[in-house]
């Protein structure tokens, strides 16, 4: 089974996933995480985030899920521009606008935010 979460590779790929979500009227859920920095916290959230993404896909929720590894120096400025101050941070982006920013959430908090901001079919 393929993952429902896409790892953003570089800035060009980041712009593609943002444009794709916007072009298809989807909520974009970005997880800013670190594979080295804050690894234990981010590893703890990984299966939760993947489970939420898979459940949304199964239930045809209009949302795309991506991770951005801020340990990749290419994403350090992006994280700063997005106001990321702790890891993991989740951003809900709809129509190019940030709807919510959640720091170190639990499953219920993520589910609630996705339910609130994902466009209804």
pLDDT of residue 1: 40
- DSSP calls for 36-58: STTHHHHHHHHHHHHHHHHHHHH
Cα distance between the two ends of the chain: 25
At residue 99, does pLDDT exceed 60? Answer: yes
The predicted-structure confidence for 44-71, as pLDDT tens digits, reads as follows 888 999 999 999 999 999 999 999 999 9
118 neighbors 63 (Cβ within 8 angstroms) = yes
Local structure of residue 74 (DSSP, 8 states):
G
């Amino acid at each position: 089974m393929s993952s429902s979460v896409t790892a953003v590779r570089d800035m060009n790929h980041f712009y593609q996933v943002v444009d794709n979500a916007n072009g298809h009227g989807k909520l974009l859920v970005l997880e800013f995480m670190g594979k080295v920095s804050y690894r234990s916290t981010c590893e703890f959230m990984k299966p939760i985030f993947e489970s939420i993404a898979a459940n949304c896909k199964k239930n045809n929720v209009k949302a795309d899920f991506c991770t951005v590894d801020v340990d990749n120096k290419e994403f350090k400025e992006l994280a700063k521009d997005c106001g990321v101050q702790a890891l993991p941070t989740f951003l809900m982006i709809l129509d190019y606008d940030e709807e919510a920013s959640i720091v170190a959430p639990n499953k219920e908090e993520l589910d609630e935010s996705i339910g609130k901001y994902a466009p209804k079919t």
